[in-house]
Structure formats: C-alpha cells, structure tokens
Amino acid sequence: NTVPAEPTTPAAERTLVLVKPDGVRRGLSGEVLRRIEAKGYTLAAVELKSATPELLAEHYAEHAGKPFYGPLVEFMLSGPILAVVAEGQGVIAGFRSLAGATNPTEAAPGTIRGDLARDWGLKVQQNLVHGSDSVESAEREIALWFPHL
Ligand code: GDP
Ligand code: MG
C-alpha cells in the first residue's frame, strides 16, 4: 500500500465578506473579524465603506427584479459597511459555513447569523454578513469593492 503524496498547496483562495449595516450599527464588526481570524483565515483587506446604488446594482445583479431587491438595496444603503477580503484555503465555502443559513431564524447556533441575528419582522435582509458564493463571484465582488487590490 502506498500513501498518495500530499498535494502541493494550491494558491490561496480569497472571498469578499461584508459586515452589513445592521452588523456595523450593532457593534459586531469586531466579532465577525474575530471569528474569521479564529478560524485561521487571514485578513487581506479591511475597509469601512458607504455603498452606492450603482455598486449594489452590480454586487446584487443576480437578485435584480426579485421582490426583496428594493428593500435589500435600501437596507444596504442605510449605513456604513465593513468590507473585508479574507484569505485561506477553502475560505469561500468556509466563510459561508461560519455565516450560516441566509435566514437567521434557520441559521444554526454556532454560526454568525445563528448566534447573532434574528427575525426583526423585516424578512431576512438583516442577516449581518455577506460572503461570496463561488470563486467567480469572489473575484468579481473583490474587484467591485476593492478596485485597487
Ligand atoms: P446569501 O448568499 O446567503 O447572502 O443569500 P442570497 O444571495 O440568496 O440573498 C442575498 C441577500 O438578500 C441575503 O443575504 C438577504 O440579506 C437578502 N434576502 C435574501 N432573500 C430574501 C428575502 O426573501 N427577503 C428579504 N427581505 N431579503 C432577502
Ligand atoms: Mg448570495
């Protein structure tokens, strides 16, 4: 029996994380960064930003026309957002696991949304964080929020 050689380390993966306006407003930016770092991922960029309708139209292009799109954009314009690029192997799926299910009521305890978000009667838009869902989305979203990276 031969044990296969360890694969060579692939290039580090990056994802875009946003602490949404509810998270910044509630003082949970540090808690989100803490969980990312505690998991072992690296912070490659962190910047407090104000979104614009144009930026959000690109960021949420896949949701244009859905019933929640208008309220979602309005919410994302309601205050500052902490934009983060996190880095590490598997970080795209890994951060989605840390974040938990989109609906905070359904998100498992132990996750950011499960532990820290709830249903405030505003459907599921106020769920604290965004995380890219694929390599393509991550690269596209990082270019939108951090054009200089
Ligand atoms: P995510 O990838 O888990 O963030 O979820 P989606 O990409 O499906 O949706 C983007 C964001 O839109 C979510 O994080 C929520 O903030 C919001 N959202 C999704 N579905 C709904 C909905 O049914 N109602 C409302 N009000 N907001 C929603
Ligand atoms: Mg999504």
| Average pLDDT along the chain, 149 residues, taken 10 residues at a time | 65 94 98 98 98 98 96 97 98 98 97 96 89 98 96
What integer pLDDT is reported at residue 12 of this predicted model? 86
Which CATH number covers residue 89? 3.30.70.141
What is the reported pLDDT for 6?
A: 60
Nearest alpha carbon, ligand 1 atom 1: 102
Asked whether residue 90 is assigned to any structural domain, the reply reads: yes
Q: Would you say residue 82 lies in a domain? A: yes
Tokens of 21: 């306006």
Residue 49 within a domain? no
- Torsion sign (Cα): 58, 62, 66, 69: negative
Report the Cα 76 to chain-centroid distance in Å: 13
Distance set, CA 148 to CA 45, 63, 99, 102, 112 (Å): 11, 26, 26, 29, 29
Task: Measure the CA–CA gap between 130 and 98, rounded to whole angstroms.
Answer: 11
In a domain, 144, yes or no: no
Residue 92 forms part of a structural domain: yes
- Cα–Cα distances (Å) from 76 to 15, 72, 80, 120, in that order, read 19, 6, 8, 16
Supply the pLDDT for residue 124: 79
- Structural domain of 125: 65-132
Question: Measured from the CA of 122, which atom of ligand 1 is nearest?
Answer: 26
Please list every protein residue whose CB sits less than 6 Å from any atom of ligand 1: 63, 68, 71-72, 102, 123-125, 127, 130, 133
**Predicted TM-score (pTM) of this structure:** 0.93
pLDDT at 10: 61
Residue 101 domain flag: yes
Q: Which atom of ligand 1 is nearest to the CA of 96?
A: 3
Q: Binding site for ATP: residue ranges?
A: 20, 68, 96, 102, 113, 127
